[in-house]
Amino acid sequence: MCRLTAVRHALNKALRPAVLGASLVAGLSLAGASQAAETWDMPMAYPASNYHSETGAAFAKEVNEKAGDEINIVTHPNGSLFGGGEIFNAVRRGLAPAGERIISALGNEDPLFEIDAIPFLATSFDDAWNLYQASKPALEKLMDKKGLKLLYTVPWPPQGLYTKKQLTSLDDMKGSKFRAYNPITTKLAELIGAVPTKVEAAEVSQAFATGVADSMITSASTGYDTKAWEFSSYFYDVQAWVPKNMVFVNKKAFEALSPETQKVMMEAAAHAEKAGWDKARELTAWYKDQLQTNGLKVETPPAAITEGFKKVGDELLQDWLKKSGDEGKAVIDAYRAM
Ligand code: PCA
């Protein structure tokens, strides 16, 4: 059904300028949208009940309420329209006009995308915000080069380690089948002697259930969404980094909107960004409580683990600086000066 939505969008686009005119387009649009409104499908990768998806839904609602005569944004959470790994290219190619992606998963496109996943560079929400501000001009430029426009970002809670076994040092991770969600967690796994396997959040439970993965680094939020207590025993609250999702739009699709609707969209994006950052801060402790209530041992990592990760983090930062060159260094310098 959801693929049909993509087809409908393509049809909407194709038919809009044609003599068939608005009546057929409206016929293909979802009920509730007014006559000439174009349906804008917005694929998202995380469950509908997660605050990232809820923030996206609130963003869509605000735009639809204020510019519903022109567009009707329909969010598709949980990878239901395009899987997490497909969303970026789908929006770039115009198959969907807008979408959401965890930014650091795009690390192979450009190192700048993974700046917020470098371990221990920014581990609190305040620092993550500063890192975002320091990197935003470069991020916007990069998106522009790819034919996209950044609308807003929302952070995940700080990243911690889920394991089946109690750990005394990082050596205990050797040979572990480690679920990675971006190139930098893949590299991190290799550096600690684990075996990385890339799995989207929507498939995490299944990966653990079938033995494809037995450890991961992610937030208490994703641990909660995937019911990590069913396949892990420990959550080590490493607070290693604070990655972000971004919501973005195809530049051509954005520029085809009226100036009024563009303005509405940018305002709604600013509201969503504020709400999303507030929600992440507010929910972090709640998520950890939920992990504990459901039976996970939520622990501060032993010093040896934190030190081990810090060493790996230094190596990953050096790597990143090499890859990202002068531009990357300028962003890190700007962040450190804040
Ligand atoms: N959850 C997402 C990305 C980071 C996070 O906390 C995931 O695990 O896919």
Closest residue CA from atom 4 of ligand 1? 218
Ligand 1 binding pocket includes 55 (Cβ within 6 Å): no
Ligand 1 binding pocket includes 202 (Cβ within 6 Å): no
Domain count across the chain: 1
On whether residue 41 sits in a domain, the answer given is: yes
Per-residue pLDDT tens listing for the chain (338 residues): 345 455 445 544 444 433 333 334 444 444 444 467 999 999 999 999 999 999 999 999 999 999 999 999 999 999 999 999 999 999 999 999 999 999 999 999 999 999 999 999 999 999 999 999 999 999 999 999 999 999 999 999 999 999 999 999 999 999 999 999 999 999 999 999 999 999 999 999 999 999 999 999 999 999 999 999 999 999 999 999 999 999 999 999 999 999 999 999 999 999 999 999 999 999 999 999 999 999 999 999 999 999 999 999 999 999 999 999 999 999 999 999 99
On whether residue 174 sits in a domain, the answer given is: yes
Ligand 1 binding pocket includes 239 (Cβ within 6 Å): no
Question: Hey, is 336 helix, strand or coil?
Answer: helix
On whether residue 192 sits in a domain, the answer given is: yes
Mode of pairing for the β-strands spanning 148-155 and 244-250: antiparallel
- State the pLDDT at residue 34: 47
Ligand 1 pocket, mutate which of 156, 178, 199, 284 (most atoms under 8 A from CB): 156
For residue 48, the one-letter residue type is A
Ligand 1 binding pocket includes 104 (Cβ within 6 Å): no
Distance CA 298, CA 323 (A): 35
The CATH number given to whatever domain includes residue 67 is 3.40.190.170
Residue 213: give the domain boundaries.
Answer: 36-336
On whether residue 161 sits in a domain, the answer given is: yes
How many angstroms is it from 125 CA to the middle of ligand 1? 15
On whether residue 258 sits in a domain, the answer given is: yes
Short-list 110, 108, 249, CA closest to 185: 108
Atom of ligand 1 lying closest to residue 159 CA: 6
Ligand 1 pocket, mutate which of 159, 219, 225, 244 (most atoms under 8 A from CB): 219
- State the pLDDT at residue 36: 79
Which secondary-structure segment (H or E) carries 316? helix 303-336
Q: What is the pTM of this model?
A: 0.90
On whether residue 203 sits in a domain, the answer given is: yes
Strand partners, 71: 38
